[in-house]
Amino acid sequence: MKDLFADLNEVQKQAVSTIEGPLMIIAGAGSGKTRVLTYRIAHLIDKGVDSFNILALTFTNKAAREMKERISLLIGGTEAKNLWMGTFHSVFARILRAEAIKLGFPSNFTIYDQQDCINVIKKIINELQLDTDIYKPKQVLGRISSYKNNLITVRAYFNNPELIQADTAAMRPKIGNIYQAYVERCFKSGAMDFDDLLLRTNELLTRFPESLAKYQDRFRYIMVDEYQDTNHSQYLIVKALASRFENICVVGDDAQSIYAFRGANIKNILNFKKDYPDAKIIPLEQNYRSTQIIVEAANEVIAKNRDQLEKNVWTQNPSGDKIPVYRALSDADEANYVASEIFSLKMSQQKKNKNFAILYRTNAQSRAIEEALRKKNISYKVFGGLSFYQRKEIKDLLAYLRVLVNPKDQEALLRIINYPARGIGDTTVNKLIVGADQQQKSLDEILNQIELLGNSLGINKPTIDKLANFWTMIKSFQVLLKTENVYEVAMKVAVTSGILKTLKEDDTPEGISRVENIQELLNSLQGFVDEQTQLDEGDSSLNFFLENIALASDLDSRDEHDDKVSLMTIHLAKGLEFPVVFIVGLEENLFPSQMSLNTRQELEEERRLFYVALTRAQEKAYFTYATTRFRWGKIVEGEPSRFLEEICEKHLEILNISFTNTIRNHSGLNSDLFADDFAPRYPKSSDPVYKKLKGQIKPPQNLKSISNAKLANPVGGSVANLKIGDYVLHDRFGKGKVVSIEGDPENAKALINFENEGDKKLLLKFAKLKVLG
């Protein structure tokens, strides 16, 4: 066993060796937090603590896996095997599987992702005959989610006049009814959403003292990483579990709290000392990651925030390069600058692709950058955005698998009942739903007896047969599942259901890629089976596979051996580090986001986000912004982000025109700003409620948007005379050859064969093509 203390500084040693009682480690950016955590766990085990009694909650599953590996290396042997490590969601999902029956859920409950939730809410809003302009499904879900995260159940909601009052004041008095219907429907479907995984865990621990005792006894040592981003629900779980032994160690940095929008409560970390008056607090302030310039610049920005714990992050590292600031003329220009900078650093300093990260505020920004990197043949990987498992074809096949595991999963069932098309239309589906409602049965129970019940539901004979056939097919898959492994079953499903056949009929590039995606899903099932069967206590059930997917994040698939530039949102970059980091799109209304300018709290979160972004960089950071950018199908003008102003100029290397000349005076926030945390949100004037109630009120004009007509049409003479056989250059698709042209001159479309992208049909008016000579 290796000497655990040899490569730690004094403060880190203290943090590692304090193992009893409550402890809060305030870990500044780059201060060796992960090292402390791993060593601390290794130290615990070294001191004779059974790894079975340790619970460590991390932010991603991948972080957990890696930490576990490192611990195994430190202590050797298989001691670390029993460690329970993972995200809140995955750890408690596992516990809930074992305990679900107590809560009235089947142990094979489904986990609904956000899209599933939104679909359920949409249906409810329609059924209640409410207006989806006022009750926007996504917003409603956000509201429900925040209730759940604050442990406000439906009953608690209706018992709380203040909440009802707040929603009524916001012109949305029916939120409670939607909430109620939503919870009922999830329950009937045997489904939990992400928030339920935490809420129901709380329910389990409060309603069943014996369960509480069991897990308190098991988890004698608890560690929570990224504590600043826990929400109230998570906070209560931790508190309940830790209350017996109080061996609770939380690690976090209030300056890096960036998930308030999904309920994270920065007060959890700010109030730790109140919860545990005996708590030791150890600040880790020495940064080992970044150059002095980067650390100082980051400190300058974060200092503008009012709500924070005092700390002083410093470094002994070399001072390093100034941070270049590039002012781009457009998003494409910005992307090209980044790409050529990467190219030249690779040449001059032998850097690898994987040494670079490009960080942005919104996923949509990746497009322009991808294009620029492709042009320079720099290989990259985009994280986040629309993930593999959210693609339609994947969700379709997964829906079949979900129904096999949990036939009550209504969302999945409705998704596949007529896909591929088998003549079961909306009319029939509605009859089924109404029938199920009247008879107090679930859809699968109706389908089980469809031949008996169909007539009384007003379904005609041929349709009954179709339903019966469909259901027999599902049943046959279920039988198969008893003897065959999940890969074989999924394969069978893909073929027998007709999914593969339907997809193969489409031979457009998109269609072909859909088939490939299905293939990839099948491969990953195969991989899952192989992996799980090799493990001693592997679980190769379909149920477990689906759970893994539901809770997987895109980051979990990150492979350090892959030599690729990483593109991701700043949120996703939390906890990572890269030698060179580009922070792009530093413009007002983009970063800080337009949506975050209403309250001081929101603006401060954007600033923390900036802090996170900058502190990812080890050797060199770059800032870029664009004066015009393609957004929402329009060209929009932008001005430099206020965050650039907040950094002392001596740390910056202004590459072209000084932004300080162009910067406006940011008076700070928009109108009625200093809204309090819990003040009810009154609808803004742009809110549809106002339009509905008071007739057409003009929304505030976006001052910055320029009419499309002038700029987006640089066709000029050249493209107007486009002929078949011409070679053209497209902003995104690159070089291509014109195959055909159709339509009147005003709205002419051209079919173009692009070298890298295949055939595309483009409207010339918008395509911004350059004809190559």
Partner DNA sequence: CTTCGGAATTTTTTT
Partner DNA sequence: AATTCCGAAG
Among 143, 361, 402, 607, binds DNA (CB under 7 A): 361
Instruction: Indicate whether 415 belongs to the interface with DNA (CB under 7 A).
Output: no
Contact 574, 256 (CB under 8 A): yes
Among 87, 265, 287, 641, binds DNA (CB under 7 A): 87
Nearer to DNA, 4 or 767 (CB): 767
Among 125, 144, 332, 424, binds DNA (CB under 7 A): 424
Q: How far apart are CA 424 and CA 435, in angstroms?
A: 16
Instruction: Indicate whether 508 belongs to the interface with DNA (CB under 7 A).
Output: no
**Within 10 Å of residue 94's Cβ, how many Cβ atoms?**
17
Give the active site residue among 226, 229, 253, 331: 226
Nearer to DNA, 456 or 594 (CB): 594
Contact 325, 644 (CB under 8 A): yes
Give the active site residue among 13, 14, 18, 34: 34
- Strand, coil or helix: 325: strand
With contacts defined by CB under 7 A, name the span among 317-325, 355-363, 395-403, 438-446 that binds DNA.
355-363
β-strand pairing of 749-754 with 734-742: antiparallel
Instruction: Indicate whether 695 belongs to the interface with DNA (CB under 7 A).
Output: no
Residues in region 621-660 near DNA by CB under 7 A? 630-633
**Within 10 Å of residue 153's Cβ, how many Cβ atoms?**
15
Give the active site residue among 62, 311, 402, 616: 616
Residues in region 532-561 near DNA by CB under 7 A? 551, 553-555
Nearer to DNA, 232 or 768 (CB): 768
Nearer to DNA, 36 or 258 (CB): 258
The residues, any chain, with a CB within 8 Å of residue 601's CB and separated by 6 or more, are: 260, 307, 677
Nearer to DNA, 48 or 633 (CB): 633
Q: How far is the CB of 473 from DNA (least distance, A)?
A: 15
Among 138, 504, 650, 692, binds DNA (CB under 7 A): 138
CA nearest to 233, candidates 158, 139, 111, 146: 146
Give the active site residue among 225, 229, 547, 619: 225
Distance of CA 373 to the CA centre of its chain: 24
Long-range contact list for 554-559, CB < 8 A, 24+ apart?
Answer: 554/383, 554/384, 554/385, 554/387, 555/60, 555/62, 555/383, 555/384, 556/60, 556/61, 556/62, 558/62, 558/381, 558/383
Helices assigned H by DSSP within 388-441: 392-405, 410-416, 426-438
- Torsion sign over Cα 521, 523, 529, 531: negative
Q: How far is the CB of 345 from DNA (least distance, A)?
A: 26
Instruction: Indicate whether 761 belongs to the interface with DNA (CB under 7 A).
Output: no
Nearer to DNA, 318 or 425 (CB): 425
Instruction: Indicate whether 428 belongs to the interface with DNA (CB under 7 A).
Output: yes
> Going residue by residue from 30 to 69, which x/- string records binding to DNA, judged by CB under 7 A?
------------------------------x---------
Residue found under tokens 């409670």 = 176
Q: How far apart are CA 283 and CA 287, in angstroms?
A: 12
CA-to-CA separations, 367 to 183, 359, 633, in angstroms, rounded: 38, 13, 13
Q: How far apart are CA 711 and CA 726, in angstroms?
A: 24
Instruction: Indicate whether 330 belongs to the interface with DNA (CB under 7 A).
Output: no
Contact 758, 735 (CB under 8 A): no
Q: How far apart are CA 111 and CA 117, in angstroms?
A: 10
Asked if 367 is an active-site residue, the reply is no
Q: How far is the CB of 165 from DNA (least distance, A)?
A: 24
Q: How far apart are CA 511 and CA 523, in angstroms?
A: 19
Q: How far is the CB of 101 from DNA (least distance, A)?
A: 24
With contacts defined by CB under 7 A, name the span among 130-138, 247-255, 641-649, 670-678 that binds DNA.
130-138
Give the active site residue among 38, 201, 234, 256: 256
Asked if 33 is an active-site residue, the reply is yes
Cis peptide before 420 (omega within 30 of 0): yes
β-strand pairing of 280-284 with 314-315: unpaired
Contact 745, 720 (CB under 8 A): yes
Instruction: Indicate whether 425 belongs to the interface with DNA (CB under 7 A).
Output: yes
Instruction: Indicate whether 767 belongs to the interface with DNA (CB under 7 A).
Output: yes
Q: How far is the CB of 484 from DNA (least distance, A)?
A: 29
Q: What is the CA radius of gyration of the chain?
A: 28
Instruction: Indicate whether 709 belongs to the interface with DNA (CB under 7 A).
Output: no
Q: How far is the CB of 21 from DNA (least distance, A)?
A: 28
Asked if 395 is an active-site residue, the reply is no
With contacts defined by CB under 7 A, name the span among 28-36, 236-244, 254-262, 479-487 that binds DNA.
254-262
The strand pairing partners of 248, in sequence order, are 222
**DSSP 8-class letter at 307:** S
Nearer to DNA, 572 or 647 (CB): 572
Instruction: Indicate whether 569 belongs to the interface with DNA (CB under 7 A).
Output: yes
With contacts defined by CB under 7 A, name the span among 286-294, 402-410, 425-433, 442-450 that binds DNA.
425-433
Among 49, 364, 715, 751, binds DNA (CB under 7 A): 364
CA-to-CA separations, 568 to 50, 62, 284, 381, 615, in angstroms, rounded: 38, 16, 27, 9, 15
Core vs surface per residue 562-586: b (16+ CB within 10 A) or e: eebbbbbbbbbbbbbbbbbbbbbbb
> Going residue by residue from 432 to 471, which x/- string records binding to DNA, judged by CB under 7 A?
-------------------------------x--------
Residue ranges at the known binding site: 27-34
Nearer to DNA, 78 or 705 (CB): 705
Nearer to DNA, 88 or 544 (CB): 88
With contacts defined by CB under 7 A, name the span among 38-46, 133-141, 338-346, 612-620 that binds DNA.
133-141
Residue ranges at the known binding site for ATP: 27-34
Instruction: Indicate whether 766 belongs to the interface with DNA (CB under 7 A).
Output: yes
Nearer to DNA, 159 or 740 (CB): 740
Asked if 608 is an active-site residue, the reply is no
Instruction: Indicate whether 576 belongs to the interface with DNA (CB under 7 A).
Output: no
Q: How far apart are CA 749 and CA 278, in angstroms?
A: 72
Give the active site residue among 12, 33, 371, 768: 33
Among 76, 173, 318, 423, binds DNA (CB under 7 A): 423
**DSSP 8-class letter at 132:** T
Asked if 334 is an active-site residue, the reply is no
Asked if 239 is an active-site residue, the reply is no
Size of the site for DNA (CB under 7 A): 50
Contact 762, 749 (CB under 8 A): yes
Instruction: Indicate whether 255 belongs to the interface with DNA (CB under 7 A).
Output: no
C-alpha neighbours within 13 Å on the C-beta side of residue 686: 5
Strand order in the sheet with 280-284: 84-87, 54-58, 221-224, 248-252, 23-27, 280-284
Instruction: Indicate whether 128 belongs to the interface with DNA (CB under 7 A).
Output: no
- Torsion sign over Cα 510, 511, 515, 518: positive
Q: How far apart are CA 122 and CA 252, in angstroms?
A: 37
Instruction: Indicate whether 94 belongs to the interface with DNA (CB under 7 A).
Output: no
Interacting residues toward DNA by CB under 7 A: 60, 87-90, 113-114, 122, 133, 136, 138, 194, 258, 261-262, 361-364, 384, 418, 421-428, 463, 551, 553-555, 568-569, 571-572, 593, 595-596, 602, 630-633, 763, 766-768
- The catalytic site residues sit at 33-34, 225-226, 256, 616
